[in-house]
Structure 1
Amino acid sequence: MALFRSVLHALWMLVTVVPWGIIMCVSSLWKRGVPLYWMAVRWLGWAIGGARVLLGIRTRVSGMENLPTDKLAGAILLVKHQSTLETFLMPTLMPHPLAYVFKKELLYIPFFGWAMARLDMIHIDRSQRAQAFNKVVNQGRKLLAQGIWIIMFPEGTRIPRGQKGTYKSGGTRLACETGVPVIPIAVTSAKVWPRKAFIKRPGVVDVSIGPAIPSVGRKPDELMREVEEWIEAEMRRLDPEAYANSPSRPARQEAVS
């Protein structure tokens, strides 16, 4: 049954992303910025709705009161990364437009990547570390000034359930450069949508949004340690079964942030 439901969801994603990608690319000829972003979020809502109906995956969110309420308040979201689910889910939850920092190779994915290329996102060349971070700072500063929040996965890649990757300080370096707070977010998506898995299982994904952590006067590494401690402690609280038998150990890294 899980395989059948997963096939149905994959078909749902396929048959909806093709027309959506075309509509996004055509609409971008006269519509850009925030209006186009909310058009993109509509398809992400279809993907998450399909996961709820076809896969039986529900989400339970706590900590929304920790998000900044001012319209132009900046924030950098640093999110635990276990599967594709949170990539689609976060824009559907947040009251502000988000700009992902991601590897430029994703832009070559037919329809989905083409649509992403029309949005105000920050795509980087991972082989050029210094230039990539300068691009993140320059574009991030402009986007934050417009009230667009930056979202990053500090571990850099999807991490198996119950494990911890190496937290890299790109997000906190950006926060210290721009003076905006960071918001740690724990997500238990691997319980139902494991890393690189085609077959998904029904269940509840917990999303816990932590208190905003000021960056002014902080050092990036110190700030990232605080983010890491909060996220990993929260992961153990939300999903104790995953951490019951062995201590967390760094997972093999596949990407940089």
Structure 2
Amino acid sequence: MGLFKKDVFGNNLFLKKMLIRVLGLFSHRRYRGFNELQIEGSEIIRDLPDNNVLFVANHQTYFADVAAMLHVFNAALSGRVDNIKDVGYLWQPKLNIYFVAAKETMRAGLLPKIMAYGGSISIERTWREKGKDVNKKVKLSDVSNITTALKDGWVITFPQGTTTPFKPIRRGTAHIIRQNKPIVIPIVIDGFRRSFDKKGLLIKKRGILQSMVIKKPMDIDYENDTIEQIVEKLQFAIEQHPSFLKVTKEDDYFKSEKELNKKREFWDMY
């Protein structure tokens, strides 16, 4: 790789690689040390094509979710199964992984701006701005940038567009799926909200069990599924459909909570 080669958005790939290495080294103990990240399904990552793959996930923090996925993806590509032991996988990271993020979030401070260089597709929210509800038109350039990123590599998106659980799926994600026909991989995460502050930059509590479940590609009929049908499929795939809020048996609920709390007991990995 030449020193002056750039990605599709004009970012220098050598600098991008150095940035991912440094940030990866600093963030590793956040998922394997201070807290423990349990991974399921990472073998799926190795069989994916090099481009036109869309990862859809629920969202719990601004940055910690994406950072964890970059660790897991690169570890899986280097041959690790459901673990991120030994950060050697950061030596040759996959450089065409992008993530969709709100423009105002990526401009809020020096560190977010640095992280944006690592692969952010910064878009303007059409429904929320500076903590207030708005109703703005979708910028065609934002949609075009996501399409460009999919043609070049993998894209991570959080279709709810917020860290608040069980919020509606944004229809724009369904439109992007119909337009680009990517392989869609759902990811369900948990524990990040308890581990980190809302931005995902500071550790809020140690000894928390974090989890990441990578599911098989979604079954989507790109030609015949309606936008509403795709939205509903996304809700179920990332376990954010309202039906997941229903608890049928109170005893089963308390039993599962007790078992989960037991798993969250921290053990020092070093």
TM-score range, shorter chain: 0.5 to 0.7
- CA 1:31/1:58 → structure 2, altered by over 3 Å: closer, same or farther? farther
Provide the rounded CA distance (Å) in 1 between the counterparts of 2:59 and 2:33.
23
From the two aligned structures, give the one with the greater helix fraction.
1
Match of 2:111? Answer: 112
The amino acid of 2:210's aligned partner reads V
- Identity fraction in percent: 20
Which residues of 2 match residues 163-178 of structure 1 at below 5 A?
Answer: 163-178=165-180
Deviation, 1:92, is: 1.6
Q: How many residues align?
A: 207
1:226: which partner in 2?
233
CA RMSD of aligned residues (A): 3.3
**8 Å CA contact retained: 1:169, 1:220:** yes
Displaced runs of 4 or more, over 4 A? none
1:78 equivalent to 2:56? Answer yes
| Contact 1:180–1:214 (CA under 8 A) maintained in structure 2 | no
Q: Distance in 2 between matches of 1:113 and 1:233?
A: 27
Alpha-carbon separation, structure 1, partners of 2:226 and 2:190: 28
Aligned residue for 2:29, secondary structure, equals helix
Deviates more, 1:168-177 or 1:43-52: 43-52
Structure 1 residue 208, shift from structure 2 partner:
0.4
Match of residue 244 from structure 1: 253
Where do 5+ consecutive residues of structure 2 fail to align?
Answer: 8-12, 75-93, 127-134, 245-249, 255-270
1:100 alignment partner in structure 2:
99
Q: Of 14, 19, 23, which residue of structure 2 is paired with 1:40? A: 19
CA distance in 2, matches of 1:52, 1:102: 21
CA distance in 1, matches of 2:154, 2:125: 22
Q: Which amino acid aligns with 2:215?
A: G
**TM-score of the two chains, using structure 1 as the length reference:** 0.67
Deviation string 1:191-220 (CA, Å, 9 cap, x unpaired) is 642563862231321100111124422323
Q: How far 1:178 moved relative to its partner?
A: 0.5
Q: Would you say the 8 A contact 1:78–1:153 is kept in 2?
A: yes
How far apart, in 2, do the equivalents of 1:41 and 1:222 lie? 37
AA of the residue aligned to 1:62:
E
The answer to whether the 8 Å contact 1:185/1:208 transfers is yes
Asked if structure 2 preserves the Cα contact closer than 8 Å seen for 1:99 and 1:121, the reply is: yes
* Counterpart residue type for residue 231 of structure 1: I
TM-score between both structures, scaled by the size of structure 2: 0.64
Which of 180, 183, 186 matches 1:181? Answer: 183
Partner residue, 1:11: none
**Is the contact made by 1:82 and 1:195 (CA closer than 8 Å) also made in structure 2?**
no
Q: Tell me how far apart the structure 2 counterparts of residues 209 and 42 of structure 1 sit (CA, whole Å).
A: 23
The structural deviation recorded for 1:59 is 0.9
Q: Deviations over 1:119-173 (max 9, x none)?
A: 55321222584343x2233112222222x211111121113xxx42222222222
Which stretches in structure 1 are left out of the alignment for 5+ residues?
1-28, 246-257
One-letter code of the match for 1:139?
Answer: N
CA contact (8 A) 1:167 1:228 kept: yes
